[in-house]
């Protein structure tokens, strides 16, 4: 396994920023940071083609051969009418 120092620093930076976002309720300019969770699925489309798709997107694909629950993801957002 080839893991460079740059990758480790980048992953540490991402984890630190994720922790910062998850524990922050408002942006620096006062907008509320909201969140919701989505279930994700590992989806097989045939042959070697595999993807991770959210539960909201499953209906967009008609060529799904098989799927299994993959996990949860959290979406962070700011309401558009607030900006």
Closest CA to 45 of 53, 54, 55: 53
The first and second tokens of residue 32, run together, are 């509320």
Residue 32 lies in a domain: yes
Q: What is the pLDDT of residues 35-69, one digit of tens each?
A: 889 999 999 998 899 999 999 899 999 889 999 99
Confidence grade of residue 34 (pLDDT, cut at 50, 70, 90): confident
Rounded distance, CA 36 to CA 28, Å?
21
Residue 9 lies in a domain: no
Residue 7 lies in a domain: no
Handedness of CA 82, 18, 51, 7 (dihedral sign): positive
Structurally, how many domains does the chain consist of? 1
Residue 29 lies in a domain: yes
């Amino acid at each position: 396994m080839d893991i460079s120092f740059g990758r480790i620093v980048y992953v540490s930076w991402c984890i630190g920023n994720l922790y910062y976002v998850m524990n922050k309720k408002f942006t620096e300019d006062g907008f509320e940071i909201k969140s919701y969770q989505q279930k994700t699925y590992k989806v097989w489309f045939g042959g070697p083609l595999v993807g991770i798709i959210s539960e909201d997107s499953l209906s967009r694909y008609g060529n799904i051969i098989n799927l299994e629950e993959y996990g949860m993801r959290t979406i962070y957002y700011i309401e558009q009418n607030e900006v």
